[in-house]
Amino acid sequence: MKYYIFFCLLAISSALSGQTVISGTVRAIKDGTLPGANIYLKGTYDGTSSNAEGQFSFTTRKTGTYTLMVEFMGYEPFSQEITLEGKAIQLNVEMKETFNKLEAVNITAGTFEAGDRKQANTISSLDMITTAGAAGDVFGALQSLPGTTTIGESGRLFVKGGDSEESQTYIDGALVHTPYNSSAPNTATRGRFNPFMFKGTIFSTGGYSAEYGQALSSVLLLNTNDMPAQDQLDISLLSVGPEIAATKCWKSGAVTATLTYNNLRPYMDLVPQNYEWKKAPESGTGAISIRQKTGKTGMLKVYGSFDRGSFTLAQQDLDQDKMIDFSLGNRNTFINSSFISSLGKGWSTTAAASFTTDHDDVEFDGTRFKKELTGFHLKNTISREVSQKITVRAGAEWFSRSVEQTFSSQADTFLNQYSNNTIAAFTEAEMYASKKFVTRIGARVENSSYLKRANFAPRITAAWKLNETSQFSMAYGWFYQNPSDDFLVYTNQLGYERADHYTFSYQSSTNGRTLRAEIYYKDYRNLVKQMTGDFYLPESYNNQGSGYATGFDLFWRDKKSIKHGDYWISYSFLDTKRNYRNYPEMSIPGFASTHNLAVVYKHWFGKLRSLAGVNYKYSSPRVYNDPNSEEFNSKKTLAYQSLDVSWSFLYRPNIIFYGAITNVPGFKQEFGRRFSDQADENGIYRSAAVTPGSNRFYVVAILITLTKKGTENQLDKIQ
């Protein structure tokens, strides 16, 4: 019996001596232990899983050299060769998280994006055209976002203390030289383009990519629709005129043609106006859009439009104390094309081009003023995805701009003109250190033939993901822009104007709710100053102007708390001053409001098949200069307020009724005063209030869609 026990213990000892114990801990780099990781010897069934603390232990009778594998979903597999010889093996495994751009942090500093992309979606593409009070104008809808100021007598974009001329608009990567319709002084205008033609919008309020230049404050990037799904006929009957659009598709392409006619005379006969219109605004637009697939990855887009508009407005001549007729006629032609294609093995290319001609013909009190603008823009960009974490982009572009102004009176005729060609090149690299940190570094160079100067503009942006729902972003860069046409037609002795941007942003998005907070500082330098000499003399101008703009923007959107409801709140605080143009000293510019607030709410009533919208906007009083006062820019306008509502009703699957009213309560709106050029016999400069064209604006529309199935509609345009 003793010998039997001895031989059993010997056998057990031999068996144990042939086993190897493998143990250790599985951890994620910087993120703690990983429970449930799969640990095994490659090519065998020997292995185990890590426990709640990330610890593991298993034994194997294998001997020799094997590969130990550790796998965990969302992390790169870990492998290590080990030698099995009966001795215990202790391992501490650190696993690296796999990289996926769709889950990675994205840069949001200074950027609002709308479209199909997951990144930075604080607003949707539909929001850009359904906000009450926007009246179907993309630029009007943007004024409900933080960083913008509503200027009632303009209608243009004013961003973070910047003038409207400091913002540029691009369609499919090509510059739009004249994005707004022409208007009379102190009367609001709107954008030229139908908002329904765009699938996505990126509105950058500062710190934008090196790919874009010639904008001191912001860029608006509009991306047109891709291939339509079927043949379609859209008929829109509005209170200001009809529109018809027809789409024809073929296997690899499609064409859409649009005709629009607007005449405000019937509308103005029904709605009281604050202006005396001798000839109501009337316009006609024809447009054509072509989409063509090329090869497996290529897409060619071509868009062309022709606008013609005119009106005659009676305005008071404060110097002569009489009414004079101000007549304006405008002709605008715009052609835009873009091409995008993959070049294989991580390479892709994008080309864009635009051509613009714009003619303004103005007559008032026996005087005639003509302005003709011709603009070209050509651009090509090549991108290379070096790896999943590194993308390099580079490109070059050519801007051409020619302006001619003719001023004719009974006494004389003056002609001023200039032409400028700007060649620019840019490059930038987007580098991910991990899913939680990304940096984009770039630079841009430009050279102007007219100014005979070049500039160099570095840019850097970065973002850090705090967790799955929130992140920080920052942006810094130099931004240059040519002086205004109003100065360049008289002199080429000026240099580029410049603004340096510093932006810090926090954004959190979870469960249908988005919070965004941003602080910024802009340092303006080399702004154009107009001295006391005659305006037509070159020596009357220099680049000694300066200024700053600093502020805080807050955005909150909630799609979850109210069933079938969706709202957002925007607030901006702005502190800005400038000494530029004909300012005698550093002062708050007349287009700046310290406080700006917008509250937008939309609600879907399923039983009524209706969408209702409400938009309240407030801007604190702005300053203006009264020449009767000894202090410059010492007077203030009334605060701007407007409560706008809209209602959309799905009458049939292919018919929608739409109605909207601006300024429902009838808030008094006065945008300062305009003054005579000369003082009267008492030394007083006469003045008159600057008011909107009417106290309220009404829109009534019927949208009809005709297709083979008869079930398609334009609901996506209004909900």
What pLDDT digit, counting tens, does each position of 644-668 carry?
A: 999 988 888 788 898 999 999 999 9
Q: Could you read off the pLDDT of 183-213 as tens digits, one per residue?
A: 988 888 888 887 777 777 788 888 888 999 9
Contact by Cβ (8 Å): 398, 423? yes
Distance from the first to the final alpha carbon of the chain: 91
pLDDT band at 217 (very low <50, low <70, confident <90, very high): very high
The pairing of beta strand 655-661 with beta strand 640-652: antiparallel
The predicted structure's pLDDT at residue 52: 85
Q: Measured between alpha carbons, how far is 186 from 689 in angstroms, rounded to an integer?
A: 10
CATH superfamily of 111-717: TonB-dependent receptor, beta-barrel domain (2.40.170.20)
CA distances (Å), origin 510, targets 115, 239, 269, 416: 18, 41, 50, 56
Of residues 707 and 513, more confidence is placed in 513
Local structure of 339: helix, strand or coil: strand
Strands (E), 409-485: 413-434, 437-448, 453-465, 470-481
Residue spans per domain, the chain: 2-95, 111-717
Which span out of 264-268, 444-448, 505-509 was modeled with the highest average pLDDT? 444-448
> Reading across the β-sheet that carries 111-114, which strands appear in turn?
111-114, 198-204, 218-224, 167-171, 174-176
For residue range 55-102, list pLDDT tens digits in order. Answer: 999 999 888 899 999 988 778 889 999 998 888 899 999 888 776 665
CA distance 340 to 351: 6
Kindly report, residue by residue over 661-697, the tens digit of the pLDDT. 999 999 999 999 999 989 988 889 999 999 998 999 9
Condensed to tens digits (0 to 9), the pLDDT of residues 579-636 reads 999 999 999 999 999 999 999 999 989 888 888 999 999 999 999 999 999 999 999 9
Count other C-beta atoms under 10 Å from residue 673's C-beta.
17
Q: Which of 156, 142, 155, 150 is nearest to 111 (CA)?
A: 142
**Eight-class DSSP state of 363:** E
pLDDT in tens, 411-436: 888 899 999 999 999 999 998 888 78
Alpha-carbon span 651 to 701, nearest angstrom: 12
All residues at 6 or more sequence positions from 8 whose CB lies less than 8 Å from its CB, including other chains: none
Mean pLDDT is lowest, of 113-117, 310-314, 392-396, 576-580, for: 113-117
Q: Could you say which DSSP state residue 147 is in?
A: T
Q: Same CATH fold, 111-717 and 2-95? A: no
Position 533 scores a pLDDT of 79
Residue 111's pLDDT band, with cuts at 50, 70 and 90, is low
Please tell me the distance from the alpha carbon of residue 431 to that of residue 571, in angstroms, as a whole number.
33
CA distance 210 to 198: 24
What average pLDDT does range 292-316 have in this prediction? 91
CATH no. of 2-95: 2.60.40.10
Two structure tokens written together for 393: 């982009």
**Within a 10 A sphere around the Cβ of 555, how many other Cβ atoms?**
22
Mean pLDDT of all residues belonging to the chain = 87
- Residue 110's pLDDT is what? 55
The CA–CA distances, whole Å, from 235 to 21, 97, 500, 653 equal 77, 53, 47, 14
Q: Which backbone phi and psi does 621 adopt, to 5 degrees?
A: -55, 145
